[in-house]
Chains A and B, each alone.
Chain A
Amino acid sequence: MAEDKKEYFRWVESTYVNPDIDWKKAEIISAGIDVGSVSSQMCVLCDGEIYAYSNTRSGSSSPNSAQNAMDLCLKDTDGLKLDDIHYLVGTGYGRVNIPFCQRAITEISCHGIGANFMYGPTVKTVLDMGGQDCKTLRLNEKGKCLNFLMNDKCAAGTGRGMEVIAEILKVPVTDIGDRSFDIDEEPEPVSSTCVVFAKSEATGLLKDGWSKNKVLAAYCAAMAERVVDLLNRIEVEKDFAITGGIAKNKGVVKRIEKLIGVEALEPKMDTQIAGAVGAAIYGRALYKKQKK
């Protein structure tokens, strides 16, 4: 690809370091790395509080993706290194390939604990819309997963699906949500949610005179419908929260809320780090258990 060719599917990688924490004074430093198929994150906790995190795009090698996430996370942390971390837990689909983690825990459990930390103990139902799968979780007040459902057979309703739509319509993926509401009338959801045929489908609609925004709205509506199916099967109980990349897409989120008649809790931090946060919390608990 030419350097100047715009890549609409690219969302921005990010990092964060908490300026109010001095890691050298922390008693227990735990961390979690979530290597997903589309994105990877690392989160560092100092005595149970978020100290630093990173959110990067995954590559084709899981160990490299983990390393990249870590390098970005620790970059501005005033000298924090892997050796300083007391316990590191790996999660996500690439968890079996992270050479420097002490334990691997599935992203299902980690998202539960992560959501509990990020949204509070009232969260009973979590929807995670990740890069390549969608899952719904039922939690207890400690964030422990009691029950879950996963859809990883179909790309519709996943981040990959959204990235493909962004490329086809040449709309930056981060703009999709807002633009999907800049329309006159809510359209019917697209009939074929198959992401591979999205191009023909979209071309047809544009030819029929639909604006790009309307096409985006139709796709968001179709994705919302697919995801709601999963939610209905697990039976949504308040409070309801969303994690993962698509939580940032208001076009899908608002339509889901409308279909299930429940509003999701407002996110106060980057929704993509939920897995890494949960893994780091597990890390802290495992370290304490180990010390006993």
Chain B
Amino acid sequence: MFEKFGEILENRHEYAREWKKRTGGKVVGFFCSYAPEEPLQAAGILPVRIIGGHKSSDKVGKFIAPNIGCSFCRDALGRGLEGDYDYLDGIVQGQTCLHTGEAFWVWEKHLPVEFSYFLAVPHSTQNVGREKYLAVEYAKFKKALEEWIGKEITNEDLDRGIDTYNTNRQRIRQIFDYRKQDNPLVTGTEALDLALSGQIMDRNEHNQLMKEVLEKLPDRQMDRDPGTRIMIIGSVNTDREFMDMVENQCDLPATIVIDDTCTGIRYNFNDVNPQDDRLMAISLRYNHRPPCPNKDWPRRRRIPFIKHLMKAYNVEAVILFNHKFCQPHQLDNAVIERELKAMDIPNLTLEFDIRIPIGQFRTRVEAMLETTMDII
């Protein structure tokens, strides 16, 4: 039922090239979920998230030292340097963490594209004045886009873009709802394919595929033991191999029922509430969405959000991960771990790299699952 999403995800570069040929349109890559996608969509552009391929490259070491750079960004930049993304017409980044910023700046300088734009997103999503600030930044961005594509982006265009994205997020949430059941009708691995494929393909096409799935999903029969209900918390999760190991290869059954990652629910939780000032409407959405730890201060809004999800999806155990050298998530995970300990929820913290030691990770995941079993 979800195979198509996985296929498109795996063949994302062919998809983008084919889309360009088919529509004659432009493709813009972005590194992080704070990049403004609705205006790009409104401009008729295909926004694609730049992700790694879980393959190391010897070309990155010159720009990002292997012993201090975020492993996800090194992987993503590596794919660029190896030529995988030569079809991009532009790159866009919203200010979040140093590492994605670094990846953007190196890309801009060494893999030049027609259009590159770095958006100043507010440092904190709790500051006074941030909504207005971001709306003004969007206005500047819109103007730059219009100059590039050579035509105006009207309110109707923006409405279409907003509507496409709202529909996209709503349908993902609807499909995720089926994971709340005792025997979830969607596995975590499938959910990853679903959510991530949306970030690299035309959202309208993605919406159509999801519509078809939603028609069939209620009647789906699952023939697997759901086992322990796990939540996965972290940043960008593109590690299909890991998800599959947890759900299909451990000696004890387990299902990943929900996540708090920027490739999953954190990205899809909020909609844009339409209002006259379209850019302000988009700004409100990006400011109020579940925050990246980079922007989640002075008060951590993530903790209540995570607790809410744990209750809604009946979570029994948690896997926390951070990419190697990612400070924002490392620090946040330490705090979340403390909270989970106080709640007596079994949890496991792992550090992801471009390639993970699957055997060793399996032992840790199994050991955590074993702490929930009572043989003796």
Contact = CB atoms under 8 A, between A and B. Distances in A.
The answer on direct contact between A and B (beta carbons under 8 Å) is: yes
Contacts of B366: 106
Using C-beta atoms within 8 Å of the partner chain, give the interface range for chain B. 10 to 19
A153 B371 CA distance: 23
A106 B376 contact: no
Using C-beta atoms within 8 Å of the partner chain, give the interface range for chain A. 20 to 34
B335 to A, nearest CB: 15
B229 to A, nearest CB: 19
Contacts of B370: 105-106, 108-109, 145
Contacts of A281: 376
A11 to B, nearest CB: 24
A289 interface: yes
A104 B370 CA distance: 11
Contact of A146 (B359, B364, B371, B374): B371
Contact of B376 (A108, A142, A147): A142
A107 B376 contact: no
A145 B375 contact: no
A105 B375 CA distance: 11
A282 B371 CA distance: 13
B110 to A, nearest CB: 31
B205 interface: no
Nearest to A103: B251
B367 A145 contact: yes
A142 B359 CA distance: 28
A144 B363 contact: no
A206 interface: no
B376 A113 contact: yes
Nearest to A133: B360
Given A282-B375, A285-B376, A109 B363 contact: no
Nearest to B349: A149
Interface string B318-339: 0000000000000000000000
A47 to B, nearest CB: 15
A234 to B, nearest CB: 11
A263 B374 CA distance: 30
Nearest to B367: A108
Interface in B340-376: 341, 357, 359-360, 363-364, 366-367, 370-371, 374-376
A106 B371 CA distance: 10
A82 interface: no
Contacts of A147: 341, 371
Contacts of B364: 108, 150
B359 A109 contact: no
Interface in A109-160: 109, 113, 142-148, 150, 152
A58 to B, nearest CB: 15
B342 to A, nearest CB: 13
A262 interface: no
Contacts of B376: 113, 142-144, 281-282, 285
A100 interface: no
A210 interface: no
A141 to B, nearest CB: 12
A279 to B, nearest CB: 12
A143 B374 CA distance: 11
A286 interface: yes
Per DSSP, chain B at the interface is helix
Contacts of A289: 375
A282 B359 CA distance: 22
B367 A106 contact: yes
Given A113-B376, A281-B376, A285-B376, A145 B363 contact: no
A152 B360 contact: yes
Nearest to A150: B364
A209 B341 CA distance: 50
A113 B376 CA distance: 9
Contact of B363 (A107, A146, A286): A107
Contacts of B375: 282, 285-286, 289
Contacts of A103: 251
A282 B370 CA distance: 12
Interface in A35-73: none
B328 to A, nearest CB: 20
Contacts of A142: 376
B363 A108 contact: yes
Given A113-B376, A150-B364, A144 B371 contact: yes
A97 to B, nearest CB: 11
Nearest to B364: A150
A107 B367 CA distance: 8
A148 B360 contact: no
Nearest to A278: B376
A109 B251 contact: no
Contacts of A109: 367, 370-371
A145 B371 contact: yes
A104 B249 CA distance: 13
A146 B345 CA distance: 10
A285 B251 CA distance: 17
A282 B374 CA distance: 10
Most chain A beta-carbon neighbours within 10 Å: one of B251, B341, B359, B367: B367
Contacts of B251: 103-105
B322 to A, nearest CB: 14
Most chain A beta-carbon neighbours within 10 Å: one of B357, B359, B374, B375: B375
Interface in A271-288: 281-282, 285-286
Contacts of A144: 371, 374, 376
A281 B376 CA distance: 8
Contacts of A107: 363
17 contacts: A93-B359, A93-B363, A105-B251, A106-B363, A106-B370, A108-B363, A108-B364, A108-B370, A109-B367, A109-B370, A144-B376, A145-B367, A146-B371, A147-B341, A147-B371, A150-B364, A285-B375
Q: Which 10 A-B pairs have the closest CB atoms?
A: A108-B367, A106-B367, A109-B370, A285-B376, A106-B366, A285-B375, A106-B363, A145-B371, A152-B360, A104-B251
Given A113-B376, A143-B376, A150-B364, 6 more contacts: A105-B251, A109-B367, A146-B371, A152-B360, A282-B376, A285-B376
